[in-house]
Amino acid sequence: MLIVMQTGASPQEVDAVKDKIAALGLTAHTIPGAQRVAIGITGNKGGLDADLFILMGGVKDVIRVSQPYKLVSREVKPDDSVVVVNGIKVGGGNFCVIAGPCSVETREQVLSTAEHVKKHGAHMLRGGAYKPRTSPYEFQGLKLEGLKLLAEARERTGLPIVTEVKDTQTLHDVAEYADVLQIGARNMQNFSLLEAVGESRKPVLLKRGPSATVREWLMAAEYIVARGNYQVILCERGIRTFETATRNTLDLGIVPVLREMTHLPIIVDPSHGTGRSTAVTPMSRAAAASGADGIIVEVHPDPACALSDGPQALTFPMFERMMQEVVPIANLVRAHQQA
């Protein structure tokens, strides 16, 4: 259920509604909007009587939310959410580019990559310190040392850090260094981890699972938001189909569909979505044209020597050309949306 407050409702009236929700043994979620405040209710097993709230001071309307992903749905919040990371806005007409290596390997590698992507317009730096790999014998990341190198790159360039947290055991260390906590595709339904990052209050980039439906993906986001963390960014990174020519099947058609279903920002990962460096720029252009709020791409100074995901990483010159092609498209789409 959603309690819509009148424009100009006083803080005391909002608090009175929240107190009544708490008295019923339920949880209130304050959802600020452009024109008014709404209060979402979770925890009820069945329907609630609208008359409990409709006559309270400052209440404009009581709306029943039909979707199971209540707090992340458009029904609850019609306005686009904007996640702000160290002054960088994701969503709300802003196109954010996140770039960097799949794995942090050496100090020289991460610093040179950070400086290059910063120079050519990236807004955040991605890089893996803890790497969940399919094989236990593959490179698992530099772990804490990798986090320290990312922090050094942030200090040198000013780029906020996006890095993956793979389990609750290492969450504390990752959260100490990261500006955005990335939940990888394999962990999309790791509910203990989702709840933990929800309690961390740090911005979260939630990747779609390789076989996840949109409903399952949004329900995963609901786990985070239900714990009080409203700073969630969705990331489409391709799904597993019968096709083997690409690493995954990048589902760009879901971007406009998601736009109707949720208020959360949506970015696209064409690196994992295709597994081919030559396909990253074309699919980045397509992501911008589809109305995505940004992209996250892998960049490496020497992809042939990368310890992970080399075939899908852009070289420095490839990243520069990609930015020259993608940014004008993103600007054109933004101008059209604002017209």
pLDDT tens digits, one per residue of 197-226:
999 999 999 999 999 999 999 999 999 999
pLDDT at 131: 87
Strand ranges of the sheet holding 59-63, from the earlier edge strand across to the other edge:
27-32, 37-42, 2-5, 59-63
Residue 339 has pLDDT above 80, yes or no: no
| Backbone φ and ψ of 255, nearest 5° | -60, -55
pLDDT at 337: 82
- Percentage with pLDDT > 90 across the chain: 75
310 touches 247 (CB < 8 A)? no
DSSP state of 236: E
DSSP letter string, 126-147? E-BSS---SSTTS----THHHH
For the chain, residues classed under CATH 3.30.70.1140 are 2-63
Residue 286 has pLDDT above 90, yes or no: yes
pLDDT at 250: 97
CATH class in words for 83-338: alpha beta
Residue 204, Cα to own-chain centre: how many angstroms? Answer: 5
| Tens-place pLDDT, residues 157-210 | 999 999 999 999 999 999 999 999 999 999 999 999 999 999 999 999 999 999
Residue 45 has pLDDT above 80, yes or no: no
Q: What topology is assigned to 2-63 in CATH? A: Alpha-Beta Plaits (3.30.70)
Residue 35 has pLDDT above 80, yes or no: no
For the chain, residues classed under CATH 3.20.20.70 are 83-338
DSSP letter string, 78-144? -SPP-EEETTEEEBTTB-EEEEE-SB---HHHHHHHHHHHHHTT-SEEE-BSS---SSTTS----TH
